[in-house]
């Protein structure tokens, strides 16, 4: 964070400053700002966020021991550290982020990119951060820091030397993206897709589309919207962008796209295609597995282009990446048994894309094995969507379908009903049981996808399998 005095911080967040010796109101801090006491270093600011399972106020002492110089709290804590007492620490975190980013922007040439979409946010964020890192100091979220805490924590990492801030915005509810993006008013608003992820919490896919459009509405009027032209709900956001005076850059495979992909070929070593920009075609070999990641790459190339990075440079930098992030189409295992651990998150769209990738990269004499868990936050559509994935797995001729957990049982029943028999589809109550089955079932030539929502935790099963066959 930029250097601020304790008095300045208190004024920004509207809190009561309680000092301990030798601090004064003019004492300056410029360290990490976080709600996790484990990330504290000398001069950091600890935000004591109450939670459903624990209360950050209990960890103020740990934060101080690690070097925290200030605690932002909702009630005073008996620890030897200066504190600012506020009514709501999450609101205080947002207010501090807004002010810090505004000061950095006013003082220099900070450019801000906001990214949202039902799938692909974190991958696109990582792609774009890789491209921009060679242009100047770039701040982007750790993991999927895209909620009411993670987004401001990321914003607060900017300094006067930061040239680019790449923010990822998730939607916990209608208005979430409007609030988070409104803190920084992005220069570039990237909308990837509108799918069924979280649709249960929004009341349907049209409500989800409206929530994603909040990013376009919150961007700077003189900014640019980077839109997936292949997704009709995203393409429709052009009207909103242009009504606000924004420019629009489209990406996709349709002829209307400004950044367009041609001739996709998917293999076990990645995806090759040609990227067309302004009439020029350039080859791209993306080592990150899955044809669906080409869309994320195009979004990153398009956003980087808005910021002045030539497409050829963007492509060259993307080709250096092996994986987008841990647990996202992450290759593991060995040449005999290849594990693809993609269990950080799952929606109907990403589940279908991963299954198609598994089928595409499995060659003659090799066997496809899908280890699948539940997809969360689908609301009343959950049963129907799990049915569809079970049907798709069978129609793609996935040769072993291993379903894990009671919440995913309907996927298993659907696969059986579609014609998967003779132990082609099996169901296990938990990861341990599935692991015991897989350790003896898997054989040379198997290509194994592990996929579920984050809350199900199958990423840990994927890690165990990766280690077993390393």
pLDDT in tens, 222-280: 999 999 999 999 999 999 999 999 999 999 999 999 999 999 998 888 899 999 999 99
What DSSP string describes 23-74? --TT-EE-S-EES-GGG--TT-EEE--B-SS-BGGGGHHHHHHTT--EEEES
Q: Which two tokens stand for residue 299?
A: 């979004």
- pLDDT above 80 (res 423): no
- pLDDT above 90 (res 454): no
What DSSP string describes 279-330? TEEEEEEE-SS-THHHHHHHHHHHHHHHTT--HHHHHHHHTT-S-SBTTBSE
Name the nearest CA neighbour of 103 among 151, 52, 165: 165
Domain boundaries, the chain: 4-86, 92-318, 330-468
Q: With the C-alpha atoms ordered 254, 259, 260, 265, is the resulting torsion angle positive or negative? A: negative
Cβ atoms within 10 Å, residue 83: 24
Give the integer Cα–Cα distance in Å for 87 and 262: 54
- Give the pLDDT of residue 193: 93
Mean per-residue pLDDT of the chain: 93
Binding residues: 117-123
Give the integer Cα–Cα distance in Å for 8 and 1: 13
User: One fold for both 4-86 and 330-468?
Assistant: no
- pLDDT above 70 (res 196): no
Cβ atoms of 414 and 375 within 8 Å: the answer is no
CB within 8 A of 417, min separation 6: which ones? 390
Domain 92-318 belongs to what topology? 3.40.1190
Please give the sequence-ordered ranges of beta strands (E in DSSP) within 159-241, or none if there are none.
164-168, 188-191, 224-228
- pLDDT above 90 (res 26): yes
Cβ atoms of 358 and 364 within 8 Å: the answer is no
**∠ CA 355-454-371, rounded to 5°:** 35
| Pairing mode, strands 224-228 and 164-168 | unpaired
Q: Map tokens 């995203």 to a residue.
A: 234
- Residue 423: exposure state from Cβ atoms within 10 A (0-12, 13-18, ≥19): exposed
Cβ atoms of 177 and 237 within 8 Å: the answer is no
For the chain, give the number of residues.
Answer: 470
pLDDT in tens, 305-314: 999 999 999 9
- Give the pLDDT of residue 203: 63
Cβ atoms of 232 and 386 within 8 Å: the answer is no
Mean pLDDT of 208-227: 96
One-letter-per-residue 3-state SS of 340-379: EECCCCCCHHHHHHHHHHHHHHCCCCCEEEEEECCCCCCH
Give the integer Cα–Cα distance in Å for 296 and 304: 12
The confidence band for 34, taking pLDDT boundaries of 50, 70 and 90, is very high
The confidence band for 401, taking pLDDT boundaries of 50, 70 and 90, is very high
The confidence band for 420, taking pLDDT boundaries of 50, 70 and 90, is low
- Give the pLDDT of residue 290: 85
- Give the pLDDT of residue 329: 83
Higher pLDDT, 323 or 285: 285
pLDDT in tens, 456-468: 989 999 999 999 9
Binding residues for ATP: 117-123
- pLDDT above 90 (res 335): no
Give the integer Cα–Cα distance in Å for 273 and 319: 12
The confidence band for 68, taking pLDDT boundaries of 50, 70 and 90, is very high
Question: In the CATH hierarchy, which top-level class contains the domain 4-86?
Answer: alpha beta
- Give the pLDDT of residue 322: 81
- Give the pLDDT of residue 281: 97
pLDDT in tens, 113-122: 999 998 889 8
Q: Map tokens 């909103």 to a residue.
A: 240
- pLDDT above 60 (res 200): no
Alpha carbon distances (Å) from 126 to 78, 120, 231, 252 = 41, 10, 22, 19
In CATH, the architecture of 330-468 is Alpha-Beta Complex (3.90)
The confidence band for 177, taking pLDDT boundaries of 50, 70 and 90, is very high
Q: Helix, strand, or coil here: 421?
A: coil
């Amino acid at each position: 964070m930029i250097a601020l005095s304790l008095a300045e911080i208190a004024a920004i967040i509207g809190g009561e400053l309680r000092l301990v010796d030798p601090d004064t109101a003019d004492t300056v801090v410029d360290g990490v700002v976080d709600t996790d006491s484990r990330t504290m270093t000398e001069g950091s600011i600890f935000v004591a966020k109450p939670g459903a399972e624990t209360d950050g106020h209990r960890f103020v002492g740990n934060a101080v021991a690690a070097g925290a110089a200030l605690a932002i709290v909702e009630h005073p804590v008996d620890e030897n550290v200066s504190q600012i007492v506020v009514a709501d620490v999450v609101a205080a975190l947002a207010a501090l982020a807004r002010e810090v980013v505004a000061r950095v922007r006013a003082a220099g040439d900070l450019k801000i990119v906001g990214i949202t979409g039902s799938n692909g946010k974190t991958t696109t964020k990582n792609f774009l951060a890789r491209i921009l890192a060679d242009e100047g100091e770039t701040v982007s979220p750790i993991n999927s820091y895209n909620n009411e805490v993670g987004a401001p924590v990321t914003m607060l990492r900017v300094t006067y030397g930061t040239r680019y801030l790449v923010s990822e915005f998730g939607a916990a509810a209608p208005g979430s993206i409007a609030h988070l993006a409104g803190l920084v008013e992005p220069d570039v608003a990237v909308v990837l897709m509108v799918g069924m992820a979280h649709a249960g919490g929004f009341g349907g896919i049209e409500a989800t589309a409206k929530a994603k459009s909040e990013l376009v509405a919150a961007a700077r009027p003189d900014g640019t919207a980077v839109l997936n032209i292949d997704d009709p709900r995203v393409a429709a956001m052009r009207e909103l962008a242009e009504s606000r005076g924004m420019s629009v850059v489209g990406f996709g495979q349709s002829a209307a796209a400004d950044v367009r992909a041609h001739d996709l070929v998917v293999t076990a070593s990645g995806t090759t295609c040609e990227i067309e920009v302004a009439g020029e075609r350039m080859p791209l070999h993306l080592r990150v597995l899955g044809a669906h990641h080409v869309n994320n790459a195009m979004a990153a190339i398009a956003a980087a282009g808005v910021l002045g990075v030539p497409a050829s440079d963007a492509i060259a930098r993307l080709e250096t990446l092996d994986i987008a992030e841990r647990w996202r189409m992450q290759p593991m295992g060995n040449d005999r048994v290849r594990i693809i651990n993609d269990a950080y998150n799952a929606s109907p769209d990403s589940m279908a894309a991963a299954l198609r990738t598994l089928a595409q990269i499995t060659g003659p004499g090799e066997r496809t094995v899908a280890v699948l868990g539940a997809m969360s936050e689908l609301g009343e559509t959950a049963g129907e969507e799990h049915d569809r994935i079970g049907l798709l797995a069978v129609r793609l001729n996935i040769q072993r379908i291993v379903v894990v957990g009671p919440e995913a049982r309907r996927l298993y029943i659907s696969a059986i009903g579609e014609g998967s028999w003779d132990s082609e589809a099996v169901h296990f109550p938990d990861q341990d049981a599935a692991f015991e089955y897989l350790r003896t079932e898997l054989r040379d030539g198997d290509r194994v996808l592990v996929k579920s929502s984050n809350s199900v935790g199958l990423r840990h099963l994927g890690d165990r399998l990766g280690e077993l066959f390393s």
